[in-house]
Chain A
Amino acid sequence: MIQLHNISVSYQGENPALSMVNFHVTKGEFLYLTGTSGAGKSTLLRLIFAAIQPTVGQVIVDGQNVTRMNRTQIALLRRSIGVVFQDFKLLPTRTVFENVAITLEVLGWGQKDIGKKVYHILRQMGLEQKLNSTPLRLSGGEQQRVALARALVNDPKILLADEPTGNLDDQNKDQILSIFREANIRGTTVLVATHDRRLLESSHRDFVVLDKGRVVEDTRERQ
């Protein structure tokens, strides 16, 4: 589903964020990406949804070469990838409902269908009471779930999450983890970047460790 071949990413005047990384995620997999801050986790995720392009190497997502795509092709690719950002990226002037509905509006859905689908997913997330609140009135955990709802509302093929449990308490972490699991069971390929060791240990999933822009460990290779 996702393949990175000999990827290097350098920002001007800095050490390379990624150097000669080879990495893959198969369809339907649930994989963690871990490492210290600055190891290159976010950069790797950003390559997959084409927010940045590699300095060297090829990125293949769902059989398509991302590095050769034009703007329209990138837009179409992003519709099949749900992304949960570290800073949530919720729009403060829009309600919870409108924040989640954006994903479906972009796809061209009608208002009626959007209403049903958004209500359904917000109920799954336990947020049906907060439909008309604006994000600023929500707790950190609730904001995180809104961001997740926005990423998952169109049943994406791939879900990418960047430090999704950053500042959450254990109860909220468990809730987020179970949402990931459910999405994965429904067929979504899940890739979560985290430096939270406890999250890794409690979920018993494979993980890849990055350090200074290189893959230093891949638990899948042990099998």
Chain B
Amino acid sequence: MSVSKQQVRPRLANEGFWGRLRYFVGRALLNIRQNPFINIVTVVTIALALLIMSLFLLVLVNLEGAAHEWTRQVQVTLYLEREPVPAELAALRAKILELPGADGVKYIGKDDAFKRFRSRLKGQESLLEGVSSDVLPASLEITLKRSHRDSDNVESFVGRLRKVAGGGEIQYGEEWVRRLTTLMQFARLVVTLLAGFLLISVLFIVSNTIKLTVYARRDELELLSLVGATRLFIKAPFLIEGILQGFTGALLALVLLSLTYFGFLYNAGDFFRFSPTSGGLAFLPPLYSAAILGGGILLGFLGSLTSLKRFITF
């Protein structure tokens, strides 16, 4: 009896990994078509949430750029007691470059220093009449690596430099470096806190929206279970739907972000041309854009997964 039943049983089209995947994706697309309103609401919610996140990232990226520009001005100047001969200069330069944190060393001879001074006094050059270039000392201007531009690192660098250089005065604008460091630390704290709050609210909003979409279809979940669907069979289309929603939402967020970015550049381009951090306004690096897409997919997937856990209790 059972053998004959086996023989008339139709071939199962959805067997095997690919057969199942094809069925689940088809089912997910059909679900989206059959519930357009609820899907649009979810996608738009995800898109807006991610847009806020990516706008924040965009501001962050540009602030980082600006901060990088500012800290570039952190440099240590070593005034030499006398002009060194080339061999001495080369030896000193090599010693300094060996110090941890040193990025570059530029030699400013007495003549160069005098020229620079003169150019800074533009319009009032007469003040320098009768003054020879001998008044100003030769110096070495040392730039530091990015990771060594805060006050602690600068101070320890100066300590080491003092040992290497012997005599000679060292200047590095202590007060300014200290203020810049405090400002940067404060900015980082504020940004981290804001990012944390933002992330929590985005997760909360998106997971609740997805929960509502699953809740609206709880009868379907129950029925599928009652006609003998396994948990995988019930969950998979919902999870794929979540992934598609997340991906579409993230894509929409990136499109909106690009529009905002170019719209802003178009209208405020003049402002940035005169801005002191004249690097201009940068768009998100490709890695960040990819992270937003990945984040969207993850958001959709995890949102669906947690909602399903809550509603599949049978």
Interchain CA distance A180-B66 in the complex, whole Å: 79
Smallest Cβ distance from A211 to chain B, in angstroms?
A: 28
Q: Which residue of B lies closest to A83 (CB)?
A: B226
B289 at the interface (CB under 8 A from A): no
B219 at the interface (CB under 8 A from A): yes
Q: Which residue of B lies closest to A82 (CB)?
A: B227
Interchain CA distance A105-B14 in the complex, whole Å: 9
Q: Which residue of B lies closest to A87 (CB)?
A: B219
Whether the Cβ atoms of A106 and B220 lie closer than 8 Å is no
- B103 proximity list for chain A (CB < 8 A): none
Whether the Cβ atoms of B226 and A89 lie closer than 8 Å is yes
Smallest Cβ distance from A123 to chain B, in angstroms?
A: 18
Whether the Cβ atoms of B13 and A89 lie closer than 8 Å is no
Given the interface pairs A71-B231, A91-B220, A93-B34, the reply to whether A108 lies near B226 with Cβ below 8 Å is no
Whether the Cβ atoms of A89 and B223 lie closer than 8 Å is yes
Interchain CA distance A80-B226 in the complex, whole Å: 11
B224 at the interface (CB under 8 A from A): yes
- B226 proximity list for chain A (CB < 8 A): 49, 51, 78, 83, 85, 89
Whether the Cβ atoms of B225 and A110 lie closer than 8 Å is no
A168 at the interface (CB under 8 A from B): no
Q: Which residue of B lies closest to A90 (CB)?
A: B223
Q: How many residues of A contact B (CB 8 A)?
A: 30
Q: Which residue of B lies closest to A50 (CB)?
A: B314
B-side residues, CB < 8 A to A, are: 10-15, 19-20, 23, 27, 34-35, 219-220, 222-231, 233, 314
Smallest Cβ distance from B27 to chain A, in angstroms?
A: 8
Smallest Cβ distance from A219 to chain B, in angstroms?
A: 29
Smallest Cβ distance from B19 to chain A, in angstroms?
A: 8
Q: Which residue of A lies closest to B220 (CB)?
A: A91
Whether the Cβ atoms of B230 and A72 lie closer than 8 Å is yes
Whether the Cβ atoms of B10 and A110 lie closer than 8 Å is yes
Given the interface pairs A75-B230, A79-B228, the reply to whether A108 lies near B222 with Cβ below 8 Å is no
- B227 proximity list for chain A (CB < 8 A): 78-79, 83, 102-103, 106, 150
Whether the Cβ atoms of B223 and A91 lie closer than 8 Å is yes
Whether the Cβ atoms of B15 and A94 lie closer than 8 Å is no
Extra 6 A-B pairs, beta carbons < 8 Å, given A105-B27, A110-B12: A75-B229, A76-B228, A78-B227, A83-B226, A89-B226, A93-B34
- B228 proximity list for chain A (CB < 8 A): 75-81, 103, 106-107
Whether the Cβ atoms of B314 and A108 lie closer than 8 Å is no
Selected A-B contacts with CB under 8 Å, 14 pairs: A78-B225, A78-B228, A79-B228, A81-B228, A83-B226, A102-B223, A106-B228, A106-B229, A108-B12, A109-B12, A110-B12, A110-B13, A113-B13, A150-B227
- B10 proximity list for chain A (CB < 8 A): 109-110, 113, 117
Whether the Cβ atoms of A110 and B223 lie closer than 8 Å is no
Interchain CA distance A103-B13 in the complex, whole Å: 15
Interchain CA distance A110-B13 in the complex, whole Å: 4
Greatest chain B CB density within 10 A among A75, A79, A93, A111 is at A75
- B223 proximity list for chain A (CB < 8 A): 89, 91, 102
- A93 proximity list for chain B (CB < 8 A): 34-35
Given the interface pairs A91-B220, A93-B35, A102-B224, the reply to whether A108 lies near B229 with Cβ below 8 Å is no
Smallest Cβ distance from B265 to chain A, in angstroms?
A: 45
Interchain CA distance A117-B208 in the complex, whole Å: 40
